[in-house]
Structure 1
Amino acid sequence: MTATADAPHLLVVDDDSRLRALLQRFLTEQGFRITAAADAAAARHALTSVAFDLMVLDVMMPGESGLELTESLRREGQDVPILMLTARGAPDDRVTGFEHGVDDYLAKPFDPRELALRIRTILRRAAPPPVADLSGGPVQLGIRWFDPQRAELRGPEGVVRLTGGEQALLLALAARPNEVLSREEIAEALGTPEAGERAIDVQVTRLRRKIEPDPREPRFVQTVRHRGYILRPGA
């Protein structure tokens, strides 16, 4: 399979030239368009000129690490989905990645087929859902509102940027307002069924920062002890 002009465009960032070349070749064969960068500085330069569909990012790089780059990009409002590659795949490492704003986490060594599968899962999650699939109107969240048909959060300041994970989480909650969703159900909706409870809690915390007047006292995304989370829309 060769990449077409409208194929998803990925930015692969890894300081290991051999792995970078292998990833570039394999992902091109999988039908993706690929731009490669050797470090965070080269990635930043590429991001200034291209709107990438997803970034595959190594966590351990000389200079600015993958986690530092992710955190910086999120602060700057960059919502490009990020799949982090790392030699450390313990649950705490995954949670740290989610806390910094990554959308998924894959430990080295990995099966290239799993990498391609996870990339496609993130891209599906980030894509606006078909209008026909969601009949509900906008969900009011105080001074902001979420349009499920556009998968778009808006407020007085305009469109509020959401990462792919935050968008998928809010879509799942908005599809079943005033119903409790277990962490397992949320993990399935996010396309990360293997995610632990702490990883889900981190995603909820990140979403609350964007919709709650006071994230420490959430009004809209509430915790139901021992059961999960519930979205309670309202003005």
Structure 2
Amino acid sequence: MAHILIVDDDPDILELIRFYLSREGFKITVAHDGVEAVGIAERVKIDLAIVDVMMPEMDGWDLCRHLKDGFPEMPLLMVTAKGETNHKIKGFNLGADDYLVKPFDPLELSVRVKSLLKRYRIQASMKVQIGNMVLDKHRYEAVIEDVQISLPLREFDLLFKLASFPGQIFTRNDLIEQVWGADFIGDDRTVDVHVKRLRDRFSDIGCAFTIDTKRGLGYKLEVLE
């Protein structure tokens, strides 16, 4: 699952964002100011940061600059009570990827977070590692302990999507839209067929993952200990 850092000196805002994003399956870490946030980012891999502007110790502008200098691959979403155009421009010039003004709809925040994560993964992530398996999107193959396994296009894309978000449940409709495309014409049970093929293909290889069925919900990939 994606690990999100929320930085805000308002405990009510921290709890609101934490509550809604936790329900979406994200791992959440909170910081109460920019200095604390920098320390966390240097110790823990953060996939996305949500940053307030007005904070003590180190404000959002300085934090944004610091994070983009040190972690250019990390998307940043700035949240602030100041909605003036010049503040938005300043944030974007410092490297912010998106901007949301308080008060905000938590559902909109969730959509923006998912959109940023999707954008960055499409642009940057061509390899995913799960346990002893590496998925290489350049070659459309899986490598398990130096054994190369070529996969049909749709099977690879489905596995790559699930492996990019271990532990996250995807409905059949989610997978159809994100793997086959919104214009796909066919039965969503095609997902079941491809999941079965993946299970059969990897059942005797000793891979470090399973694709679990969550009845009434969909599928998720789980990493084996």
TM-score class, shorter-chain normalisation, is: 0.5 to 0.7
SS at match of 2:5: strand
SS at 2:122 equivalent: coil
Q: What is the alpha-carbon distance in structure 1 between the residues aligned to residue 61 and residue 16 of structure 2? A: 22
- Map 1:74-153 → 2, pairs under 5 A: 74-128=68-122
Equivalent-residue separation in structure 2 for 1:42 and 1:97 (angstroms): 20
Structure 1, gaps ≥5 residues long: 1-6, 132-148, 151-235
Q: Which structure 2 segments of 5+ residues have no match?
A: 127-137, 140-225
Give the equivalent residue in structure 2 for 1:69: 63
* Structure-2 residue corresponding to 1:146: none
Alpha carbons of structure 1 residues 76 and 18: separation in structure 2 relative to 1, 3 Å = same
Give CA deviations for 1:132-167 in whole Å, capped at 9, x if unaligned.
Answer: xxxxxxxxxxxxxxxxx79xxxxxxxxxxxxxxxxx
CA shift, 1:59, in A, is 0.7
Aligned-pair CA distance for 1:90: 2.2
Residues 1:51 and 2:74 are matched in the alignment: no
Distance 1:29 1:77, change over 3 A: closer
TM-score (norm 1): 0.51
2:77 match: secondary structure: strand
- Per the normalisation by structure 2, the TM-score is 0.53
Deviation at 1:93, TM superposition (A): 1.5
CA RMSD of aligned residues (A): 2.0
Counterparts of 1:77 and 1:37, CA distance in 2: 17
Match of 1:210 in 2: none
% identical equivalent positions: 39
User: For residues 77 and 122 of structure 1, what CA distance do their matches in structure 2 show?
Assistant: 15
SS at match of 1:110: coil
- In structure 2, how many angstroms separate the alpha carbons of the residues matched to 1:89 and 1:68? 18
